[in-house]
Amino acid sequence: MTLYDMRLSLCRKLGYSESPAQEVSNRLDGFLNEIHQRVLGLPGMAYVRQASTTLTTVASTAQYSLPPDVARVVGIRDATNDGVLRGQSFEWYIENEPDPTGTTGIPEVWVPVGQVAYSSQPTTAAALYVVGGATDICTCYVQGTITGGTPITTSVTLTGTTAVQVGSWTSWVSITKFAISDHASSTGVTLRQTSGSGTVLSTIGYGRTSARYLRIALWPTPSSALSLTLDYLRHIEDLTETNDEPLIPPDFHWVIEAGARMLEYEKQDDRRYPTARAEYEKGLRDLKWFMVQQADGRDASGGRSQLGAWYPAGS
């Protein structure tokens, strides 16, 4: 079921017009997204949020901003050197590595550093520009510092694909916030260095209103370029377009609709609320059972060594 299908079903069961007032449509969409987030956030639902991508290191660079859809790192694998990086705390990192540039080699540890608003910072003091898609007509908000450490908070009006300079400053050296007043279109809104076609420093992806990246550090600092495999859980994205579908298995899309109907009955203090809640909770139980049965639970011994490139598999 798509967002449109679920909204239409809700309207029929709730007695609303199939083309309800915008206020009602917005409320039902909000309830659908609330239930979507509740369901996907439950224990055992990580299966449908798992994804993998390539993390390419740069020689002598310790920290990396991960793709915007990364909610949590599950693990990082080094296929080239037959190793799996260990996760450590930020406290461990600052206690064991006061100077990241002083220790280089093949990374053995990854460390969460925090949430940031940039994929990379300006490589030199420069002007900043924002560029959007054809339908991105909104206000952009940028915070950061210019040469000398002066903090700057400013906004500009974005009117589509035409690049707009962020203020009159030409010496931005860091970015601390990048946001817009409306949801980004499918092409996203980018913050660029020097010109409208310059290096992309930050991106607000489709359906979002702010830039957000999970940043990690690798230890020791990579001494060369490596292609690591990043396994992660994706953020739970809102359903915004009419053809968007919930991330759960299609056989259980009705659970999202049932939960939204329950919330509408609760808001209206409708006597049908207990029945809707019972239907929703039974659907959740069935969904959890379905997800747990994806694996048989038996242990399987791995055939790969976890000791690094100097030890053969099975050692």
pLDDT tens figures, 78-95: 999 999 999 999 999 999
* Contacting residues for 245 by C-beta, under 8 A, at least 6 apart: 1, 2, 3, 239, 253
Q: How confident is the model at residue 304 (pLDDT cuts 50, 70, 90)?
A: low
Give the pLDDT mean for 16-45.
94
Q: What is the pLDDT of residues 54-65, one digit of tens each?
A: 999 999 999 999
pTM: 0.81
235, 226, 173: which is closest to 64 by C-alpha? 226
Per the CB < 8 A criterion, the answer to whether 76 and 84 are in contact is: yes
Ordered by start, the domain boundaries in the chain are 3-41+237-279, 50-115+214-234, 128-211
Residue of 36, 52, 199, 16 whose CA lies nearest to 122: 199
Per-residue pLDDT at 38: 95
CA distance 69 to 51: 10
pLDDT digits (tens, 9 = 90+) for 88-131: 999 999 998 888 888 899 999 999 999 999 999 999 999 999 99
pLDDT at 310: 65
